[in-house]
């Protein structure tokens, strides 16, 4: 038994190395002073980060990406909160079908969602805009927000709402004074992870951006078609830091357990 457990831990470590390896080499290359990419490590430097700060095109795109991420996650989290409340509170007719529908974007390729939105806009002759991107991203992150909300609601005692009402709160106040604060960690976690997923997504935005609304991944991958340099590694490292901050925040401060 003991030996088996040791093997299990060993395997887990190997898998973690496989999963995190690419991220680690990017971190290392982002502070490598060698100018050609990739190349063996020479000297530590921060010059690629400075170069990044002067690259306006990336900066503009990053602002677009942040706007889209915040707006789409806010929409998705609100939809997930209200819908999750309705689905968890009582047996809703077609409840199973509805929650399957809400999780379905998980099973539809992002590139297909992007294509479909592009084509429907083409058919009704509407131009691409920030709103298009926000809707596409909101649909895409809805399952993430919904799953965290539903797991929050699965531990929520709906009897508390009866208690609040017996004490004089109308349904809306009961929602604000009881449901919202208790669900807050799940909602913040859903919002945060959704925002990160939206921020880094490429396939969804690929068909839907215009030069004015281009997101950071779209601009970076376009740049990479012509050249790959350490500046990209610096940018990638910043993205990793954002993702890591979100992950650690969800684990440490919100105490969201993605297992159980």
Partner 1 sequence: MARLRSGASVSAWLLAPASLLLIAGIAVPLCATIWLSLSPNVLVHFDGKGLGNFQYLFKSKYYYGVIIRSLRIAAEATVIALIVAYPVALTLRRMASRRASAVGLAMMLPVLSGPLVVVLGWMILLSDGGPLLAPLTPYIGRLRIVGSETGIIVGIVHFILPFTVISLASVLRLIPENLVEAARSLGATPLEIFRRVLLPLSLPGLLSAAIIGFSLAASSFIAPHYLGGPADVTLTALVAQFVLATFNGEMAAAVAVLLLVLMAAIIFLLSIAAARSVRT
Partner 2 sequence: MAYLELDRITKRYGTATAVADLSLSVVEGEMLCLLGPSGCGKTTTLRAIAGFEHVDSGAIRLGGVDVTDIPPEKRDIGLVFQNYALFPHLSVEENVAFGLRMRKRPAAEIRATVAEALRLVQLDGVGGRLPRQLSGGQQQRVALARAIAIRPRLLLLDEPLSNLDAKLRDTMRDEIRRVQRETGLTAIFVTHDQSEALAMADRMAVMDHGRIVQVDTPARVYDNPAHPFIAGFIGQANLIEGRVVEASGGTALIEAGGLRIGGHCRAALSVGQSAMAVIKTDRSRLMRGAGVADETTVPVRVTMRTFLGPFVSFTCENATGVKLSALMPSADAQFEAGESVLLSWRVEDCLIIPGVA
Q: Is 208 a residue that touches partner 1 (CB under 8 A)?
A: no
Query: What φ, ψ does residue 49 adopt, rounded to 5°?
Result: -70, -40
Residue 41 and residue 111: Cα distance in Å, rounded? Answer: 37
Q: Give the nearer residue to partner 1 in terms of CB position, either 167 or 259.
A: 259
Contact between 102 and partner 1 by CB under 8 A: the answer reads: yes
Residue 195 to residue 69: CA distance in whole angstroms: 5
**Under rule CB under 8 A, which residues in 173-212 are in contact with partner 2?**
173, 177-178, 181-182
Interface with partner 1 includes 25 (CB under 8 A)? yes
Span from 16-24, 42-50, 56-64, 152-160 in contact with partner 1 (CB under 8 A)? 16-24
What 3-state class would DSSP assign to 129?
Answer: coil
Are 42 and 34 in contact by the 8 Å Cβ rule? The answer is yes
**What's the closest the beta carbon of residue 50 comes to partner 1, in angstroms?**
19
Distance CA 185, CA 254 (A): 5
Q: Is residue 172 a contact point for partner 1 (CB under 8 A)?
A: no
Binding segment (CB under 8 A) for partner 1, from list 42-50, 51-59, 104-112, 179-187: 104-112
59 binding partner 1? (CB under 8 A):
no
Decide: is 250 part of the binding site for partner 1 (CB under 8 A): yes
Tokens of 244: 């890591």
* CA separation for the pair 213, 139 (Å, rounded): 18
3-state secondary structure of 255: coil
Question: Where is 192: in which H helix or E strand?
Answer: helix 180-200
**183 touches partner 1 (CB under 8 A):** no
Give the residue, chosen from 36, 43, 166, 226, that forms a contact with partner 2 under the rule CB under 8 A: 166
Q: Per CB under 8 A, does 135 bind partner 1?
A: yes
Q: Which of 48, 62, 71, 105 binds partner 1 (CB under 8 A)?
A: 105
Half-sphere exposure of 84 (CA within 13 A, CB side): 28
Q: Which residues of this chain interact with partner 2, rule CB under 8 A?
A: 157, 159-160, 162-170, 173, 177-178, 181-182
């Amino acid at each position: 038994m003991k030996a088996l457990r040791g093997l299990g831990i060993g395997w887990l470590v190997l898998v973690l190395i496989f999963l995190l390896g690419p991220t680690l080499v990017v971190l290392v290359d982002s502070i490598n002073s060698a100018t050609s990419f990739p190349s063996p490590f020479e000297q530590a430097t921060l010059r690629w980060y400075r170069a990044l700060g002067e690259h306006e095109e990336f900066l503009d795109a990053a602002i677009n990406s942040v706007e889209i991420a915040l707006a789409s996650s806010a929409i998705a989290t609100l939809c997930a909160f209200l819908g999750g409340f309705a689905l968890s509170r009582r047996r809703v007719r077609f409840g199973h079908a509805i929650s399957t529908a809400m999780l379905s974007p998980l099973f539809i390729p992002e590139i297909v969602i992007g294509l479909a939105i592009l084509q429907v806009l083409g058919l009704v002759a509407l131009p691409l805009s920030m709103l298009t991107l926000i809707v596409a991203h909101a649909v895409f992150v809805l399952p993430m927000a919904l799953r965290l909300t539903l797991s929050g609601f699965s531990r929520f005692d709906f009897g508390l709402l009866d208690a609040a009402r017996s004490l004089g709160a109308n349904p809306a106040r009961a929602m604000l004074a009881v449901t919202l604060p208790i669900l807050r960690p799940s909602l913040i976690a859903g919002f945060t992870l959704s925002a990160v997923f939206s921020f880094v997504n490429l396939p969804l935005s690929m068909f839907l951006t215009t030069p004015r609304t281009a997101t950071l991944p779209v601009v970076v991958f376009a740049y990479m078609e012509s050249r790959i340099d350490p500046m990209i590694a610096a940018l990638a490292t910043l993205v990793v830091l954002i993702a890591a901050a979100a992950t650690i925040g969800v684990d440490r401060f919100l105490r969201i357990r993605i297992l159980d």
